[in-house]
Structure 1
Amino acid sequence: MTADSEDPNAEKQYHLEVGPDDVADAVLLPGNPERVDKVTALWDAHEEVAHHREYRTATGAYDDAPISVTSTGIGSPSATIAVEELARVGVETFIRVGSCGAIQPEMDVGDLVITTGAVRQEGTSDEYVREDYPASADGEVVSALVAAAERLGHDYHMGITMSADSFYAGQGRPGFEGFEAAGSDALVEELREANVKNVEMEASAILTVANVYGLRAGAVCSVYANRVTGEFRTEGETRAAETASLAVKLLARMDEIKRESGADRWHAGLSL
Structure 2
Amino acid sequence: MTVHIGAEVGQIAETVLMPGDPYRARWAAETFLEGAELVNEVRGMLGYTGTWRGHRVTIQGSGMGMPSLSIYANELITTYGAQTLVRIGSCGGMQPHVGIRDVIIAMTASTITSPSSGIMRELNYAPCADWGLLKAAVAAAEAKGTTTHVGGIYSSDVFYAERPDLDEQMVRHGILGVEMEAAELYTLAARHGRRALAVLTVSDHLQTGEALPSDERERSFGDMVEIALHAAFDEA
What's the TM-score once normalised by structure 1's chain length? 0.80
Name whichever of 222-231 and 40-49 sits farther off: 40-49
What secondary structure does 1:136 align onto? coil
Conserved in 2, the CA contact under 8 Å of 1:28 and 1:94? Answer: yes
Conserved in 2, the CA contact under 8 Å of 1:122 and 1:204? Answer: no
In structure 1, the gaps of 5 or more residues are: 1-11, 173-183, 254-271
**Aligned counterpart in structure 2 of residue 72 of structure 1, from 62, 65, 70:** 62
Give the equivalent residue in structure 2 for 1:268.
none
Give the equivalent residue in structure 2 for 1:225.
204
How many Å separate the matches in 1 of 2:168 and 2:34? 43
What is the 5 A alignment of 1:150-169?
Answer: 150-169=142-161
What secondary structure does 1:244 align onto? helix
Larger Rg belongs to: 1
What is the 5 A alignment of 1:1-150?
Answer: 12-40=1-29, 41-88=31-78, 89-130=80-121, 131-150=123-142
Which string of whole-angstrom CA distances, capped at 9 and with x for unpartnered residues, describes residues 112-139 of structure 1?
0000011022331213324411111110
**Aligned counterpart in structure 2 of residue 202 of structure 1, from 181, 196, 203:** 181
Conserved in 2, the CA contact under 8 Å of 1:57 and 1:71? Answer: yes
In structure 2, the gaps of 5 or more residues are: none
What's the TM-score once normalised by structure 2's chain length? 0.92
Count of residue correspondences = 228
Amino acid at match of 1:129: M
Q: Report how far residue 54 of structure 1 moved.
A: 4.6
Identity rate, percent: 32
Conserved in 2, the CA contact under 8 Å of 1:72 and 1:79? Answer: yes
Q: Report how far residue 246 of structure 1 moved.
A: 2.0
Amino acid at match of 1:62: W
- Structure 1 vs Structure 2 CA RMSD: 1.5
How many Å separate the matches in 2 of 1:241 and 1:18? 23
